[in-house]
Amino acid sequence: MSEKQQYSLLPTAANSAATTTTTPNTTFTKDTAADATRYRRRLRIGFFKLCLVAAAFYTLFWMPLDDDSNDSDNILNERSPSHHHHHHHKGVHKAHHKDYRDRGLAKQYGFAKHMDAAVEQIVEGTLESNIVWDRLAEMTDTYGPRIVGSDALEKSIDWIVGKVKADNLSVTTEDVMVDYWQRNEESLHFLSPTRGPVKLHILGLGYSVATPDPVNGLTAEVLVVQSKEELDQLGEAGEVEGKVVVWNRRFDSYDTSYMYRLEGAVWAEKHGAVAALVRALGPFSLQTPHTGGSIAAKIPTASISAEDADLLERSQRRHQQQPEQYPDWPKVKLVMGATTDLDARVSRNIIVELKGREKPEEVVVLGGHIDSWDVGSGAVDDGIGCFIAWETIRQLSRLDQPPRRTVRVVFWTSEENTSVGGVVYAKNHPESKESRHVFAFESDTGVFDPYGIGFTPSQSQRNLLRDPKSITPMDYLAAAGEYFLGSREDLGYPGAGRHVLPNGGGADIEPLCEKGIACANFMPADPFPLPYSTSPYALTRPPLEQEDSDDSQERHQYHQGEHGHNHLHRRHRHHHHPDEAPRRPVDSGYFYYHHTEADTMGAFTPEQAKQSAAVMAIWTYIAAESDIEF
């Protein structure tokens, strides 16, 4: 019997007579009714299976992601060799999700196809060479650090202008009157009763005066304090007068610690101190004091290393707790020959411009500050910020068509001393119908792995009463980050540079921000994300234990070779790819280098320089090509 006959709901001709009962209204026999019940049951089971297959197909190939916030983490796990086979289908699944998501973002936010092509061209052009790193290395190797007012700064500016002209870009300069502070000779010794003079590590602070005798210096007892409140209490008791105040406040964050560098001498001077020394503003030290600006006082002030500040504190405590064994209050000899000439020199802002094709009157300005302190080479703060902006406009000029809006790169001068370069720029380029800034973008926190941007909308957008469902500038940029950067894997790690955080701004663009213009800052990832480090100084080869077996050494070597990271614990078995390191926006790691002798080309790699340049160029292109008000 055929399957169709067996499960037919109607009687067949062959068995019709045999199965019909004498009851007139009865059509089926009991056997036929049972067959029909089984058929219906199989239909229900088949339909249920079909629904399961359809649901699985929809989930695997079509359903959009509900929450894409952890895409980078998922992608990171998929890239791990140990997860490759397990996540093969998941990778296909995510690829379909990405396509679906990208189509939705492009439609909702107006990301045109030509923008995709431009971004690809920007990335390809930026990554094809190490020109960013090579140019910065050449300048810093040739001219060194560039404190404002120095010949080194002006020679560096001349060098840059010549190179920009060679790039066939439009470049001009504008004069800025600047102060000229010079460090000159300086030294600090701890006068140990048992060791004799012990040389300590010192960097005078900007605008500090010299010691009364610039050659022989001054000698005085130290008074180590932790806070302004402690100083005030000791000052009221008459214990500060005639002493060298040592601010030994441990670093917790720059925002909470830098006031001691800025005003420490002024506070100490009010209580009769003869000098002020400030613990280096950094989370880590290898005898590296941090210089920086200070409010001019009548007493000299300098930064000392964290190790030396702790040495003086321990010596003071021993004297206080064991005066019979340590009868002498600790003393130091400080020599400083610093000088300050106000409004003594003319420096220059460098301005490079690419006219917009449709809205040349709307300006997207970006850049960094070309001056630095007089230690290290000024590569991190802020040579690299200027050079990735330079590479940004160089790449945008190579596109098939320039962005809609004008792009202007500025190398601001004198940020470290009074930020007058930014003030002069804002004054010389006022807002008008012929030219107005719509987006200001600064890079001044170094370059490591790219993380994203900080952003503050314009005052007009902040004041706008809008429909809750309408697209805000923050919405637009967040979507753009996901669309153009969220799935990239060629800029250091998956999704590098895509993040958009609030509160954008910077010292050089502050005058523009105060006018209500939308402001943003380039944000690298912290160079020391725990528990791993992306610093080029991090060890990359683990020490192999001599007692390890050949097999364990082979496995250890494979682990290191695959993942390229040093594990400090013997036979560490956490199989983390370096890309799995939890990135966080730049934080305390930047201050390993900030204003120190460690501010050199060794703080970042050529790859990090060009990847960061690519990210800055993409964000600049997004701002300049869009037609929304930020």
- CATH code for position 268: 3.50.30.30
Domain assignment of residue 278, yes or no: yes
* Same domain membership, residue 501 and residue 522: yes
79: exposed, middle or buried (Cβ count in 10 Å: 0-12, 13-18, 19+)? middle
Instruction: Give CA angle at 124 (120, 125), nearest 5°.
Output: 115
Q: Answer for the pair 596, 381: CB distance below 8 angstroms, yes or no.
A: no
Has residue 522 been placed in a domain? Answer: yes
The predicted-structure confidence for 379-427, as pLDDT tens digits, reads as follows 999 999 999 999 999 999 999 999 999 999 999 999 999 999 999 999 9
Mean pLDDT of 511-527: 97
Does residue 50 sit within a domain? yes
CB of 614 closer than 8 Å to CB of 122: yes
Peptide bond just before 531 cis, omega within 30 deg: yes
Report the Cα–Cα distance between both ends of the chain, in Å, rounded: 76
| CA angle (324, 329, 330) in 5-degree steps | 125
Closest CA to 108 of 480, 545, 385: 480
CA dist 157 and 201 (Å) reads 31
Q: Where are the alpha helices (H) located in 128-253, listed in sequence order?
A: 131-143, 151-166, 228-236
* Contact call for residues 621 and 389 (beta carbons, < 8 A): no
What is the separation of C-alpha 369 from the centre of its chain, rounded to a whole number of angstroms? Answer: 17
Element (H, E) at 423: helix 420-428
Scanning 471-572, the segments in alpha helix (DSSP H) are 473-485, 510-514, 550-563
Tell me: pLDDT of 20 over 70: no
Buried-state track 164-185, b at ≥16 Cβ within 10 A, e below 16: beeeebebebbebebbbbebee
**Catalytic: 415?**
yes
Nearest to 411 by CA among 115, 87, 160, 62: 160
From the number of C-beta atoms within 10 Å of its C-beta (0-12, 13-18, 19+), residue 431 rates as middle
570-578: Cβ within 8 A, 24+ apart: 570/545, 571/545, 572/542, 575/80, 575/82, 576/532, 577/76, 577/79, 577/80, 578/532, 578/534
Same domain, 22 and 142: no
Encoded tokens for 587: 């934080």
d(CA 518, CA 515): 9
Band (pLDDT 50/70/90 cuts) for residue 513 is very high
Say which residue the tokens 């790690």 belong to.
493
User: In percent, how much of the chain has pLDDT > 70?
Assistant: 79
Residue 188 shares a structural domain with residue 293: yes
pLDDT of amino acid 32: 62
Instruction: Specify the pLDDT at position 103.
Output: 81
- Domain total in the chain: 3
Examine the pLDDT at 556 and tell me if it is beyond 50: no
Asked whether 516 and 437 are in contact (CB, 8 A), the reply is: no
Is 560 a domain residue?
Answer: no
Query: Mean pLDDT in the chain?
Result: 84
pLDDT of residue 51: 74
Output b/e per residue, 279-304; b: 16+ Cβ within 10 A.
Answer: bbbbbebeebbbbbbbebbebbbbbb
Residue 576 has pLDDT above 80, yes or no: no
Residues 466 and 610 in one domain: yes
CB count in 10 Å sphere of residue 361: 14
Domain-embedded: residue 74: no
Of 276, 303, 337, the position where a domain reaches its end is 337
**Residue 429 domain-assigned?**
yes
At residue 276, what is the residue type? A
Q: Are residues 473 and 497 in the same domain?
A: yes
Q: What pLDDT is recorded for position 30?
A: 52
Residues 301 and 349 in one domain: no
Residues 189 and 139 in one domain: no
Same domain, 150 and 200: no
User: What pLDDT is stored for residue 531 in this prediction?
Assistant: 64
Whether residues 137 and 196 share a domain: the answer is no
Confidence of residue 537 (pLDDT cuts 50, 70, 90): low
Give the integer Cα–Cα distance in Å for 499 and 71. Answer: 12
Q: What's the Cα-to-Cα distance from 526 to each of 71, 176, 491, 516, rounded to whole Å?
A: 20, 33, 15, 29
pLDDT digits 0-9 by tens, 421-451: 999 999 999 999 999 999 999 999 999 999 9
**Boundary residue ending a domain (281, 304, 337):** 337
Reduced to 3 states (helix: H, G, I; strand: E, B; else coil), residue 293 is strand
pLDDT of residue 143: 98
Indicate whether 463 pLDDT > 50. yes
Q: What is the largest CA-CA distance in the chain?
A: 133
CB 590 within 8 A of CB 604: no
pLDDT single digits (tens) 80-109: 334 444 444 445 445 555 676 778 888 889
The pLDDT value recorded for residue 98 is 62
Q: Are residues 407 and 305 in the same domain?
A: no
Indicate whether 558 belongs to any domain.
no
Identify whether residues 271 and 353 lie together within a single domain.
Answer: no
Question: Per-residue pLDDT for 478 more than 90?
Answer: yes
Q: What is the domain extent for residue 22? A: 3-61
Q: Exactly one of 415, 416, 442, 580 is catalytic; which is it?
A: 415
Instruction: Grade residue 453 by pLDDT with cuts at 50, 70 and 90.
Output: very high
Would 569 be classed as within a structural domain?
no
pLDDT computed for residue 464 by the predictor: 87
Residue 31: per-residue pLDDT: 60
Residue 70, classed as helix, strand or coil, is coil
Q: Which pLDDT band holds residue 134 (cuts at 50, 70, 90)?
A: very high
- Contact call for residues 591 and 256 (beta carbons, < 8 A): no
User: How far apart, in whole angstroms, are the C-alpha atoms of residue 90 and residue 415?
Assistant: 49
Last residue of a domain, one of 319, 337, 355: 337
Same domain, 132 and 233: no
Residue type, 189: H
